[in-house]
Amino acid sequence: MSDTVQDKWKNFKVAHNKNYANQEEEDHRFGIFQENLKKIEEHNERFNKGDETYTLGVNKFADLTTEEMKNFKGFAPKHLQKPT
């Protein structure tokens, strides 16, 4: 039997020690989590059909928007950045 979205959300919060400032923030993050979960499941369906070469899964970033995740890509502390 597969977990419900609520179950996956609860498991995600426990696994990644997620706590939110208030219910409004939690509701906002849950909405993002649902969108990301849908993208993950759709991608993995395409993988199962042979249309993708890798699978995706829920990780610590599953409650972030694409824009927020972009902030993590290529991050380098100032002291390690090359001069421009």
CA distance 37 to 9: 10
Scan for tokens 């499941």, then name that residue. 41
Question: With a cut of 50, which residues of the chain have pLDDT below it?
Answer: 1
- pTM (global) more than 0.75: yes
**Rounded mean pLDDT of the chain?**
89
CATH of the domain at 20: 1.10.287.2250
Which element (helix H / strand E) includes 47? helix 23-48
Ramachandran sector of residue 13 (left: φ over 0; alpha: ψ -120 to 50; beta: rest): alpha
Based on the structure, what is the number of domains in the chain? 1
| pLDDT for residue 1 | 45
- Give how far the C-alpha of residue 24 lies from the chain's centroid of Cα atoms, to the nearest Å: 19
Domain of 53, in residue numbers: 5-80
